[in-house]
Amino acid sequence: VNLDKLSNELIGWKNGLIIYRFALEEINTKLKILNEEFQFIHNHNPIEHIKSRIKDPKGIMLKLQRKGLEINIDNAKKHIHDIAGVRITCSFVSNIYDIYHMLKGQSDIKIIKVKDYIKNPKPNGYKSLHLIIKIPVFLSNGVEEVSVEVQIRTIAMDFWASLEHKIYYKFDDGVPEHLLVELKEAADAAHELDLKMKRIKDRVDIYQTVGKDNPLI
């Protein structure tokens, strides 16, 4: 093993990935401001919580390999768009699109790709709104546009996706059919829960605007 070469490569990866940490800081600040401003205007927070992560180098290398690309930091930066990831969990489905439109309205953010797994859920029942955005990061020697994957979902969608993700990795040769059926049923139940919460919220909104004597409440 050529240790000098390996060491240089590791330094290259470390230096190359640091920009994604800055990008996450930028997007987290933007989301915090939007959430607080929304609270101020509409009297509720659209965001329940935010989690962000940098994909670990092994995950990046595996993805490059899957795409048939040579494993190096330049290819990673060019072809892997989810090195930096933010997951936003919202109270209601409408909040997901509120956040999407608020991000879309920011002049320094470019929306590169939208995958709406809420309007078009995956066959297993997975729902979320996925965005690939580019956000500028200002460095001492210039500005770099950095890709970030943003996943936006409700608490119910997040509950389902977190458990499904764990179950998926427990089976090396695929999740048994009867469990897939039950997972799909659980996804439908999560969907029902979102609809029910929306109906309750609509009635609370009526209460707040016209008072509790309204027959719709």
Residue among 38 and 100 whose Cβ is closer to ligand 0O2: 100
Residue among 82 and 205 whose Cβ is closer to ligand 0O2: 82
First CA to last CA across the chain, in angstroms? 72
The distance of closest approach from Cβ of residue 183 to ligand 0O2 in the complex, given in angstroms and rounded to an integer, is 9
Q: What is the dihedral of CA 107, 108, 113, 115, to 10 degrees?
A: -70
- What is the residue-wise DSSP string for 82-122? -SEEEEEEESSHHHHHHHHHHHHT-TT-EEEEEEETTTS--
Where in 49-88 is the site for ligand 0O2 (CB under 6 A)? 81-82
Grouping H, G, I as helix, E, B as strand and the rest as coil, residue 140 is coil
Q: Can you tell me which of 42, 44, 122, 196 binds ligand 0O2, judged by CB under 6 A?
A: 122
The distance of closest approach from Cβ of residue 124 to ligand 0O2 in the complex, given in angstroms and rounded to an integer, is 5
The distance of closest approach from Cβ of residue 130 to ligand 0O2 in the complex, given in angstroms and rounded to an integer, is 4
Residue among 38 and 85 whose Cβ is closer to ligand 0O2: 85
Residue among 122 and 203 whose Cβ is closer to ligand 0O2: 122
Residue among 17 and 161 whose Cβ is closer to ligand 0O2: 161
Where in 148-187 is the site for ligand 0O2 (CB under 6 A)? 161, 164-165
The C-alpha atoms of residue 83 and residue 85 are separated, in whole angstroms, by 6
Task: Tally the C-alpha atoms within 13 A of residue 32's C-alpha that lie toward its C-beta.
Answer: 7
- Among 9, 48, 149, 182, the active-site one is 149
Q: Report if residue 126 touches ligand 0O2, rule: CB under 6 A.
A: yes
* 149 carries an active-site annotation: yes
Question: What type of residue sits at position 189?
Answer: A
Strand partners, 110: 134
Task: Go through the chain and tell me how many residues it has.
Answer: 217
Strand partners, 148: 133
Using alpha carbons, list the distances in angstroms from residue 191 to 30, 125, 145, 155, 178: 29, 9, 36, 11, 20
* Residues with catalytic function: 149
Q: In the complex, which residues of this chain contact ligand 0O2 (CB under 6 A)? A: 81-82, 115, 122, 124, 126, 130, 161, 164-165
